[in-house]
Structure formats: C-alpha cells, structure tokens
Amino acid sequence: MSGSRLNKYIASSGVCSRRKADELIESGQVMVNGKKVTELGYCVTQKDKVFVAGKLIHPVKNEYYRFYKPAGYITTTDDEKGRKTIYDLLPKNLHHLKPVGRLDKDSTGLLILTNDGELINQLTHPSVKVPKLYRVVIDDRITQNDIDKLYKGIEIESGKIAYAQVDVIECSDKETVMEILLYQGLNRQIRKMFEALGHNVISLKRVQHAILTLDGLKRGEFKPIKPGQIKDLKNFIRKLESKNA
C-alpha cells in the first residue's frame, strides 16, 4: 500500500470505516511516526507507523464470504445465555470476520461475512438504502389493505416507521408466500410489521443482499465471494450513494 490516504489506511486495518477514521483523525486520536495528524487528506506509505488511540495498526487483507445461515443460531460472536452462534458452524480461521447486519435466531438465509470495515459501513448505513430481499411465509391470507399498509409504513416501535414492498407468490386461507423487499435494517423489522397487522410469520429467509444471492449455497455452507463480484458490489454501492446523496 503506497501513497494511501490515512483514512483508507486505517479502514484497511479493520479498525473502522473511512467515515469513522475521519472522525478519529479530526479528534486527534491518530499518530503517524510519533506525530499527531489531524489533516484528513494526509497520505502514508507502508514504511510509516500509524497509531490509532495509542495502538499500532497494520493493513490486513480483506476477505469476503457468503454464508447460508440455518435456523437456531444467533448472529453474534458469543452469547451470555449460551445459545448457539453462527461461529459454531464456521472454522476458526473465519472467526475474525464480521456479519453484515443480522438475522434473528429463527430466520435463515444470506449473510455476508467480511473484515472490510468500510464495506460493512456502506452496506448497513441507513442513508445508502441497500436493498435486501426476503422470502416470507405467514400463517393466513394477506389482504390488499395489509400490502398497502406495509408499503406506506407501519410504526413498529415508538417513533420507528418500517416500510416494505410486497410481491405475493402464493396465497390461501392457510398461508401466504411472499417476497419482501426492504431498504431499512431495523431489528426484527419484518416480524414486527406482520405482528402489528395480526399475522404470524412461519418462516423468514433472506435470499439477496444488494447484488449477492444464495445461489449455489446449501444451509450452513459458506463460500468465498469472487473478486469480480466484490468489484461489482462496490460499484453498485457507489451508484446507490450517488443516487441517495
């Protein structure tokens, strides 16, 4: 890494995103070769020693994986209650990777795992509005009125309005199968929205996050994301950032 901007250098170490790195620089928490640096455009090379909050950092190789989360596991590194986590299914050499967003214990589907702090921030920041697609089954028939309410927004907590676009695939008095498109990432958003409408969610699976899908993955399986896909993903995010700026 030669002639890299300081915020990019910090982000490449996995400490935080570039935006957060800018905050650290401006607040005087970054030192280069023993000198405090507060200039955002400052550049460093591999020979420079960079300290963040007194700790020497080093750029690391970014890794990217798709993981098909099965039901019964929570999306965290450990759990005080002793519940099973996704890391019980992953080899130890991947335990340093972080999930991009979460899926609750009973939900299944696509999780992106990476140590790229900048990408995690971009994919989860509310202003970017990254699309996420889910296959959802409820235990009765959905109505057009329900669909309209989901689109217009439902208050799932005090002051929190959740929105969803619905495409009904199959519908009967016993169950409705739908694809749900979200641009938000609120906690248990889909389940809370349907609960507010008086429906019970039988199953919930994330099938797509941005341009990445579950294609080629079995439950509990993980695979590295190809460099070309990462390039396409980052280009997709840049277009979203420009669109929503």
Neighbouring CB atoms inside 10 A of 30's CB total: 25
Angle at the Cα of 95 (from 93 to 98), degrees rounded to 5? Answer: 130
**Between β-strands 201-209 and 108-114, what pairing exists: parallel, antiparallel or unpaired?**
parallel
pLDDT band at residue 1 using 50, 70 and 90 as cut-offs: very low
Average pLDDT over residues 161-176: 96
> For residue 238, is pLDDT > 60?
yes
Q: Is the pLDDT of residue 245 over 80?
A: no
Q: Which candidate in 104, 106, 140, 232 is catalytic? A: 104
CATH of domain 64-126+211-244: 3.30.70.580
Q: What does each C-alpha distance from 10 to 55, 97, 211 come to in angstroms?
A: 11, 17, 27
Active-site residue 104, yes or no?
Answer: yes
Q: What is the mean pLDDT of the chain?
A: 93
List every span in the chain annotated with CATH 3.30.70.580: 64-126+211-244
Helix (H) or strand (E) holding 240: helix 227-244
Numbered ranges of CATH 3.10.290.10 in the chain: 4-57
Residues 183-192, mean pLDDT to the nearest whole number: 94
Residue 180 pairs with which residues in a beta bridge? 134, 166
CATH no. of 4-57: 3.10.290.10
Which pLDDT tens digit goes with each residue over 146-168? 999 999 999 999 999 999 999 99
| Residue 117: predicted pLDDT | 83
Q: What is the pLDDT of residues 46-104, one digit of tens each?
A: 889 999 999 999 888 899 999 999 999 999 877 777 889 999 999 999 999 999 999 99
pLDDT average, residue stretch 127-149 = 97
pTM, 2 dp: 0.84
CATH of range 132-209; options 3.30.70.1560, 3.40.190.10, 1.10.3720.10, 1.20.1050.10: 3.30.70.1560
CATH 3.30.70.1560 maps onto the chain at 132-209
**Count of CA atoms in the C-beta half-sphere (13 A) of 34:** 0
